[in-house]
Structure 1
Amino acid sequence: MKTKLKHLIVIMVLSLGLVSCHDDLDQSPIDPDSFTEEDVFANATEAKGALAKLYASLALTGQQGPSGQADIADIDEGFSQYSRMLFNLNELTTDHAVVGWGDAGLPDLHGQYWSGNNDFSEAMYYRLAQEVSFCNSFITNAASLTDGEVSSFIAEARFLRAFAYYNLIDLFGNVPLVTEVSTDLPQQASRTELFNFVESELLDIQGDLKPGRSNEYGRVDEVAAWALLSKLYLNAEVWTGTARYTDCVTYSNNVINSGYSININDANGNGTAYDELFLADNDTNGAQDEFIFALNFDGLRSQTYGGSTFLVHAAIGGTMDATEFGVNGGWAGLRTTKKLEEKFNYTVLTQDIQEINNALGAMSDWGIIGDGTPNGWNDPDTKMYQIGTNQFAIYAELTDGFLKFRFNNDWGTNYGDDNADLSLESDGQNIPVLAGQYYITLDLDNLTYSIENVDFNDLLETSIEGDKRAMFYTDGQNLEIEDISSFTDGYAVTKFKNIDSDGDQGVDSAGDFVDTDLPLIRLAEIYLNYAEATVRGGSGDLNLATAKINELIERANGDSSANISSGDITLDFILDERSRELYWEGQRRSDLIRYDYFTTDAYLWPFKGNSPQGTSVSNYRNLFPLPNSIITVNPNLSQNEGY
C-alpha cells in the first residue's frame, strides 16, 4: 500500500496522545498543512491513510525511510524493523542461519545465551508494543465514523493487533493485554488469556473483513483471519496446555478452499515456480495468489534497512556477484548451517567448458596448436568451432607459451602473426600467450584473430536436479562452520533477490533498496499446518494432506518424481518439509519448540548452545525475556523464568 506523506506525519501526533492526558497538550496546530487526529478521522478516505500506517509500521520504522524521524525513540532503525527482528529471533536462533557480525547481543542469539538486556529481543518487544498502540488508537478514533467501509478498516486494525499479540505470545509469553489507549501501567496477562483474546478477536472480525481475495493487494481479508487461527491452534498445546488440532484442521481447510492458490507460474523458465515467490515482481508474477498476508516493499517509496533489503544484502559476500541479485553490494553476514542443506535431496549440475564450446557451432577442421595450448605442439590440434562462414572460435585454457592456427592437423596450412598486430600471415611467427582462460577467434575472410581473456565461471551455468528449493551459493564456501565470523564458513543462501522474472533489477537503480515483498503467511504454510494437525490427532484427511504436500514437492522438483504416499507422512517428515519450504521466512524457532527440539538434545546443530557441535540449553529459552527496561518501569510485570 502506498501512503501519502500527510498520513504518515500524523502518527507523531498520535504517539504524543498515547502518553499525554493533559488538556493543555490537546491543541490543534497553527500550521494548516499539519494533520491531527481530527483531520485523519474526518472521513473514511482520510481514515484509510491512517490504516496504511498500521500496515507500514510492520514494514518500516519511521516517517522518513530508511532512517530519520523514528517511530520509537532510542532504538536503532536499521535493525529494529519487524521482519528483520523476526528473522533474528526465529531463524538466527536455529539451524537455519548464522551471522558473522559481532554487534553486541547478536552472536548471543545463535549461541542461545541471550540475557534480559539483549538489544534485539528488546527491539522486537517495542516494535510489537508500538503496533498494538497504533492499532488501539485507530480502533478508538475510527469508531466514530459512520461510513460503511470503516467497519472493514476497523476489522483490519483488529487483525493487525491480533497478529502483534500472536507474535508476543510466541516470543515473550505473558505480556500486558491492552486494548485501549491509556496512561495507566498495564497488568500482565497469562499466555492463555492472551491466546483467548487473539482467538476471540479473529472469530469476531471474520464477517467484517472483506471476502477472500477481494481486498487490495497487501491488505488482509477474511482468509487471513482463518490462516492466523490455523497458526494459533497449531501452537495451542504449547501455549495453553490444551491441544486444538481439530480446530487447526477446520480453519486450515477453510483457507485451502478459499480461492488462494499455490503459485505454479514458472515466469523465469528455470524449471520451478518456487523462486518466483521471492523475486522483485512477486506482487504480479503469480506469487501474489499464494500470499495471504505480506509486507510490501518498494526500493524507492518504502526504504528500510530491514525487510527484503536486509535479507538480500546481508546474504551476499565472498565471491558472490551482488549484481546478480539486483543490488550494489553485500553485507557479508548471513549464511546457513549444514543441517538445513542436508534436508534437501538435490544435485548441482554445472556445465563444463566443452558444453559451452559445443554450443558455439559444429567442430571444424581448424584448430590451435602450440606449447601454450591444451595439446602442446603434438598432434592433434585443439579443434575450433565454426560460428559462421570462415569464422571459428573456441574457449580454451592456455599456459605460458605460443600458439598458431592450423588446418586439419597439417603444417601445410597454418597461420601466425609476424608483426604482433592481430593480422595473420601464412606460416607466420608463433603467437605468444600467457596463462589464463580465453575466447579465441579466427576470421579467414580478413585473416585476423583475437584472444580475449574471460572467466569461465561467468560462462558456466549451474542447475539443480531434484529439489530446487535448495537455493545455496557454494563457490568458495565451506559447508562446515569453524568460525562463525568468517563469511566463507557456511553456505550462502540465494533465496531472496531484487531481480524480477525477466532478470531486471528492482526500481532503485542505485541498488541500495529492494522491491521484493515478504510473505508473512502464505498458502503453502497452511497446507503444512493441515498435515501436521492431522498427524497430531486432528480430524483431517491424511490423503488430502498428502495431495497438498505433493503440490509443494512437484513445484520444488518440476515433476512428480519425488512425490510421496500417505505412509511417508510422519511428524518428522512434516517438520523437514516445513524447513525445506519455509526456511528464512520467520517460522523455524516456533516449529522446533512445538516439536520439543529447540532447547533439548533431541536435535542439535552447529553452535547450538554456543558449542561447535551443538548442545542442549535450559528450556526456559523457549521464551525470550521481557526487556529489563520494561520490568523496571512497570512493577506490575514479572520477568520470565530463568532471566
Structure 2
Amino acid sequence: MKKIIYTMILAAGVFSTTACVDELDQTPHTEITSGDVYTSAANYKSVLAKVYASYVIAGQEKGGGNKDIATTSGYDYMRCYFNMQECGTDEMASTWLEGDKVKDISYLTWDASDPWVSDTYYLIYQTIDYANEFLRNATDDNISKFSDSDRALIKQYRAEARFLRALSYYHAMDLYRNIPFVTEKDEVGSFTPPRYTSSQIFDYIESELKDIDGDLLDRSEAEYGRATKGAAWTLLAKMYLNAEIYTGKARYSDCITYCNKVIGDGYSLEGDYSKLFNADNQKRTNEIIFPLSVDATHTVSWGATTYIVCGEVDGNSSENPLTYGVKSAWSMFRLRGELTSLFASGDKRAMFYTKGQSQYLDTGIDTQTNGYLMTKYRNLLDNDSVASNTASYGASIDFPMFRLADVYLMYAESVVRGGDGGSIGTALGYINKLRERAYGSTDGDVKTTDLTKNFILDERARELYMEGTRRTDLIRYGKFTTSDYLWQWKGGVKDGKAVNSKYNYYPIPQTELTANPNLHNDNY
C-alpha cells in the first residue's frame, strides 16, 4: 500500500469559492461548517489532503462521481492538463478526435468555448480556491489556540498549501497567460478578481516560493507525496527557464542557481528508466522530486494515470492489456512519427509497440493503425504483478510531475543559452548520465560540440515524452505555432502548417469573460 496523505474530509463550508461564475459554486453535502472542521491539526492535514487530491480526482466518489464542479465533463485536473500539454504537439496522436472533443486542441484551432480549455481553467482555479480557503483558516490568529507542536505542524501544512497554489498559478499562467488573481485575503463571494498579466503572476509565484522555503520540509523529513523544499526549487527553476516567455526577460542564470540547489540536495537518477512509470514508482524518491499520488484505494480515477495507461493500449491491435497491468484498452492515443523518429537504436527509452502500426500518420491523425503505441506507463509492480483492477478501481501509478532528469536538462539548456553559474562540462556530464542510463553503456554519449539548443530540445522529447512538458518546450523554442518546425497535421493539414501566434496560449473561457468585466482575451 502506498503511503500517501489522502485521508480526506469533504465537508460543506470547508471550501467556498471566489470565482465569479456558477461553474465553481458547490452544493453543500452536509451541514458541517469550517468551525466544525478546523478543530485539530489532524483535521487541517485532512483538508490539506483534499488540496493535493484535487489534481487527480474530480468528485466525491470513486471515478469522479458526485462531481466537484457540476458543469465540467467530469475529468480531473491531471487528465485535462495532460491533454492541454500534449494533444497539440508532435508527441500525441489522439484516436477519438470527435468523441473525446479533442479535435481543436489537436489541430491548434480552439476557441474560448472549447470544453477542454474551459474545464482545465475551472479545475485549476478550483485547486487555487481550495488552497485559499485552507489558508483563510490557517492564519496565526486562527491557530493560536493550538499547542506549540500543533502550530508548527499547521505552519508546515500552510507552506504546502501555498506551494500547491503556486503550482496551479504556474499552470494557469503557462496555459492562459493573463489571468484573474485571488488569494485568501480577498472576500469570498462578492469579490471580482482583477486581471494580472503573466509578468505579475510570475512575480507573485516567485515571491511565494521563496517566502515558504523555511517552512517546507526537507526531502528526508517528508511523508511520501508531500511537497518539499526540492519541489519548490524545481518549480522556480522551471519558471526561470521559461521566464522570457512570461515576462520578456531571460532568467537562465537563476534557473541554473535553483537547478544546483535541487541537484545538491542529494537526488540521484533511478537506474531503470521504466520503473519511474510503474505502479511501484513511489519507491523512486531518489529521482522523483514531486509526484501526483494515485492509487486504487484512495484516489480511484478514470483520469490521471488511469487515462494514460489505459489510453496507451489499443484494443484493436494485437496488444495484450495485461502486459500493462490493465483490464481494458481504451485506444485513446498513439505517438506521432516525429517523436518516435528521434530515438536511435539501443535507446531503451523508446518504449513503443510497433506491430501492425505505421510510424507516421499518413492517412489521418485518428486512424488507429497510424502511429506507434506507447508502452511507457505500466500498472505493474516491480515483480510484474498487476497492481489493481483498472476496470473497477483505476491505476496505481503516480504521475512524476517533477523529476531529477528534467532538472539536469534544464541546467544544460540554461548553460547553452548563456546562463551564469554553471559550466558546459558539468552540463555534458548530466546529459551523458541520462544517455548512459538510456543505453546501458557509454554508446550513446555525446560531446560538448553536440550540446546545441536543438539537441537539448530533442533530448527533452526522448527523456520526457508524454509527461506534460512538450507544449511549453516548443513555445520556449519558438516552434509551437511557427513554420520553423512542422509536424503532420499541425494546423489540421497533413504536411503541417504554421498557425496564428495566439495559439501559444489558451483563451479565458467565454463564460468567465461574461461574468468578470476585468478579463479579456487578446486576439481571440
**Aligned residue among 113, 116, 140 for 2:112:** 116
In the alignment, is the contact (CA less than 8 A) between 1:281 and 1:516 conserved in 2? yes
Deviations 1:582-625 (A, max 9, x none): 00000000000000000001111110010111110011100101
Tell whether 2:50 aligns with 1:170: no
What is aligned with 1:474? 354
One-letter identity of the residue aligned with 2:471: R
Deviation at 1:150, TM superposition (A): 1.0
In the alignment, is the contact (CA less than 8 A) between 1:100 and 1:332 conserved in 2? yes
Deviations 1:409-460 (A, max 9, x none): xxxxxxxxxxxxxxxxxxxxxxxxxxxxxxxxxxxxxxxxxxxxxxxxxxxx
- Specify which structure has the higher proportion of helix: 2
Deviation at 1:177, TM superposition (A): 1.2
* TM-score, length-scaled by structure 2: 0.92
One-letter identity of the residue aligned with 1:336: L
What is aligned with 1:156? 160
What is aligned with 1:3? 6
SS at match of 2:265: coil
Taking the TM superposition and a 5 Å limit, the aligned residue runs for 1:307-326 are 307-317=304-314, 318-326=317-325
What is aligned with 1:626? 508
- C-alpha separation in 2, matches of 1:475 and 1:512: 29
What is aligned with 1:230? 237
The structure with the larger Rg is 1
What is aligned with 1:358? none
Deviations 1:613-641 (A, max 9, x none): 111001110010110010011111111x2
- C-alpha separation in 2, matches of 1:623 and 1:13: 34
One-letter identity of the residue aligned with 2:170: Y
In the alignment, is the contact (CA less than 8 A) between 1:300 and 1:507 conserved in 2? no
In the alignment, is the contact (CA less than 8 A) between 2:297 and 2:393 conserved in 1? no
SS at match of 1:54: helix
What is aligned with 2:400? 519
Range that drifts further, 565-574 or 481-490: 481-490
Tell whether 2:411 aligns with 1:530: yes
What is aligned with 1:98? 93
Deviations 1:544-587 (A, max 9, x none): 11111111101111111111122211100110000000000000
**Aligned residue among 119, 122, 145 for 2:143:** 145
Deviation at 1:642, TM superposition (A): 2.2
One-letter identity of the residue aligned with 1:525: D
Q: 1:17 to 1:175 in 2, by over 3 A?
A: closer
One-letter identity of the residue aligned with 1:8: I
**Root-mean-square deviation (Å):** 1.7
- C-alpha separation in 1, matches of 2:404 and 2:154: 28
- C-alpha separation in 1, matches of 2:296 and 2:32: 27
Tell whether 2:378 aligns with 1:497: yes
In the alignment, is the contact (CA less than 8 A) between 1:39 and 1:46 conserved in 2? no
Deviation at 1:103, TM superposition (A): 2.9
SS at match of 1:328: coil
Tell whether 2:286 aligns with 1:292: no
Tell whether 2:196 aligns with 1:189: yes
What is aligned with 1:68? 65
SS at match of 2:199: helix
Deviation at 1:19, TM superposition (A): 7.5
Q: Which consecutive residues of structure 1, in runs of 5 or more, have no partner in the other structure?
A: 21-27, 265-272, 347-465
Deviations 1:387-413 (A, max 9, x none): xxxxxxxxxxxxxxxxxxxxxxxxxxx
Identical aligned pairs, as a percentage?
39
Q: 1:137 to 1:535 in 2, by over 3 A?
A: same
Deviations 1:114-144 (A, max 9, x none): 1110000111100110011110110110121
Q: 1:632 to 1:19 in 2, by over 3 A?
A: closer
- C-alpha separation in 2, matches of 1:206 and 1:497: 35
What is aligned with 1:327? 326
SS at match of 1:292: strand
One-letter identity of the residue aligned with 1:145: I
Deviations 1:348-407 (A, max 9, x none): xxxxxxxxxxxxxxxxxxxxxxxxxxxxxxxxxxxxxxxxxxxxxxxxxxxxxxxxxxxx
- Specify which structure has the higher proportion of strand: 1
* TM-score, length-scaled by structure 1: 0.75
- C-alpha separation in 1, matches of 2:216 and 2:393: 36
Deviation at 1:35, TM superposition (A): 4.0
In the alignment, is the contact (CA less than 8 A) between 2:301 and 2:393 conserved in 1? no
- C-alpha separation in 2, matches of 1:141 and 1:88: 34
Deviation at 1:182, TM superposition (A): 2.4
SS at match of 1:58: coil
Deviations 1:28-75 (A, max 9, x none): 99x8xx643123211211101001011000111111121222111211
In the alignment, is the contact (CA less than 8 A) between 1:609 and 1:615 conserved in 2? yes
One-letter identity of the residue aligned with 2:85: N
SS at match of 1:276: helix
Q: Which consecutive residues of structure 2, in runs of 5 or more, have no partner in the other structure?
A: 21-27, 145-150
Q: 1:591 to 1:613 in 2, by over 3 A?
A: same
- C-alpha separation in 1, matches of 2:519 and 2:195: 6
- C-alpha separation in 1, matches of 2:390 and 2:461: 34
In the alignment, is the contact (CA less than 8 A) between 1:105 and 1:114 conserved in 2? no
**Aligned residue among 581, 588, 596 for 2:463:** 581
SS at match of 2:54: helix
Deviation at 1:2, TM superposition (A): 4.2
Taking the TM superposition and a 5 Å limit, the aligned residue runs for 1:430-469 are 466-469=346-349
What is aligned with 1:304? 301
SS at match of 1:142: coil
Aligned residues: 498
What is aligned with 2:250? 243
What is aligned with 1:133? 129
Runs of 4+ more than 4 Å apart: 16-20, 509-512
In the alignment, is the contact (CA less than 8 A) between 2:279 and 2:379 conserved in 1? yes
Q: 1:226 to 1:17 in 2, by over 3 A?
A: closer
SS at match of 1:293: strand
In the alignment, is the contact (CA less than 8 A) between 1:592 and 1:598 conserved in 2? yes
